[in-house]
Copies of this chain bind each other. A is one copy, B any other.
Amino acid sequence: MSDHDSESGLTRGELARATGCNIETIRHYEKIGMLPHPPRTGAGYRIYARSHAARLRFILRARELGFAMKDIRGLLGLEDGTAPTCADVHARTERHLADVRAKIDDLKRIESVLAGTAAKCSGDEVPDCPVLDAITSSFIR
C-alpha cells in the first residue's frame, strides 16, 4: 500500500493473522464499538497500530476465559467511558467465576447421568435402549 512506511501499521488482514482473529470479526468489533475506528489510508484502508492489536488480543483472551461480551465491555471501560477500578474488575471476575463454577457443577451432573446410562447400554442393533429410557425418565437438578 502506498503509505506503508517502514514499521508503522497493520492492514486488517495482517491484524487478523497476527491475532488469530477472523478478519470479518475485526470489522464487526469495530461496528459494535469494541474496537475504535482506526485511521485510514487515502484509499480508505484501515491501518491498525500496536494499541489496536493489544486491545483485540485482550478481547480474544477475555472471550477465551468465557467472559460475556458485556463484561468485556466493562473490563475495557466501555460502559461508562472510564477505566474500571480494580474493585470493579474484581467484582466482575468473582461473578464470572461463580458462573463458571455453577456451569462446571451442571456439567458434572450431566456427565454422571450420561456415563451411568451409557454404561448400561448394550450397544446392540436393537431399538430398545437404556439411554433413551434414561432421558425419558430422568430429571436433572
Query: Which residues in A have some Cβ–Cβ distance to B below 8 Å?
Result: 54, 57-58, 61-62, 64-66, 75, 83-87, 89-90, 93-94, 96-97, 100-101, 103-104, 107-108, 110-111, 113-115, 117-118, 121-132, 135-136, 138-140
Contacts and interface: CB of A to CB of B under 8 A. Distances in A.
A132 B140 CA distance: 36
B85 A125 contact: yes
A118 B94 contact: yes
A123 B65 contact: no
Given A100-B107, A104-B111, A90 B138 contact: no
B86 A129 contact: yes
A107 B85 CA distance: 26
